[in-house]
Structure 1
Amino acid sequence: MPDGEKITGVADVPESGSYLFTAADAFTNETEVVLVRCEDDPGVEAWRNTCTHESQRFDRGDGAAIRDGEIVCPRHGSMFDACSGACDNGPAAGTELPGVEVAVESGSVYLTDDNYSLSHAGGIDDDEPGSTSHISL
């Protein structure tokens, strides 16, 4: 077993979409991270859940949009390679997603990045109560 905390099983990472979790740094600042499938070993990669162009979240609780092995920014359409994090189009062209180190062993994904510890599955605000408004637009 790798040194690190178990995040989830590989089977929980959708073939087309993402698995969202929250990690904390040494100062307890929380960061959302997405796990996405990748054709390269180990078969799953982890990226911070924000576009490099305008800090737009890829996964807002229902999975990131994935098209042809690329993570799609829902705001401007920039596409990031799911394996390398590199973007060669749209407003984010020439940038690369900040990665988070993970390892896969025996069908499980482990957080092995020394800069983070696992907080919980889901996004930062998933534990917050929802809106009590009954207004619909």
Structure 2
Amino acid sequence: MTVRHRLTTVERVRDERSWLFTVRNEYGESTEVLLVPCEGGVEAWVNRCTHQNQRLDTGHGATVRDGEIVCPRHGSTFDSCSGYCDNGAAAGTTLRSVEIDVDNGVVYLTDAAVSYLHDGEITGDEDDDGPSSTSHISF
């Protein structure tokens, strides 16, 4: 049986438009995971664009518009529910998912390949303050 770790609530993810937490992956590395609203609930994705390993949420919330997560570097957009990108530099790729479960409005981490470390971004990573954008999209 998979151990569940309580993360947050669906309501909080919807209110904040995204929610970030850190896990240890199967290689012992710290990895950020992004929760985003999706039809009827939330989805969890590794917090990296598939194009250039760019963080989608740089610690200040991900940009989510019309059901799509926007990469701050090149403007590629990923469907919040499927993780699939059909435009820009990341077109034809899909974000890596992380298994979660929603029970009575509470979001739980259930992915056996990772272990929960803490809420928020990876600490001590001062070299990744955000992108130097080359996007054609303005915010």
TM-score by length of 2: 0.83
Q: How far apart, CA to CA, are the structure 1 residues paired with 2:55 and 2:90?
A: 14
**Distance change >3 Å, CA 26–CA 52, structure 1 → 2:** closer
Equivalent residue number for residue 62 of structure 2: 64
- Tell me, in whole angstroms, the C-alpha distance in 2 between the residues paired with 1:129 and 1:3: 29
Q: Which amino acid aligns with 2:111?
A: D
Query: How many correspondences in the alignment?
Result: 125
Alignment partner of 2:118 out of 112, 117, 120: 120
- Normalising by structure 1, report the TM-score: 0.85
The alignment status of 1:37 with 2:37, answered yes or no, reads yes
User: 2 CA distance for matches of 1:84 and 1:23?
Assistant: 21
Instruction: Tell me: CA distance 1:79–1:110, structure 2 relative to 1, closer, same or farther (3 Å).
Output: same
Structure 1 unaligned regions, length at least 5: 131-137
Answer with 1 or 2: which has the greater Rg.
1
The CA distance in 2 between the partners of 1:119 and 1:61, in whole Å, is 16
Structure 2 partner of 1:20: 20
- SS for the counterpart of 1:91 is helix
Deviates more, 1:105-114 or 1:82-91: 105-114
The 3-state SS of whatever aligns with 1:14 is helix
- Structure 2's unaligned 5+ residue stretches are 127-139
Q: What residue is the counterpart of 2:49 in the other structure?
A: 51
Give the superposition deviation at 1:25.
2.1
Q: Distance in 1 between matches of 2:64 and 2:36?
A: 9
Q: Which of 108, 112, 115 does residue 110 from structure 1 map onto?
A: 108
Kindly provide the amino acid, as one letter, of the partner of residue 44 in structure 2. Answer: A
Deviation at 1:16, TM superposition (A): 6.2
Contact 1:15–1:37 (8 Å) recurs in 2: no
After TM superposition, what 4+ stretches of structure 1 lie above 4 angstroms from structure 2? none
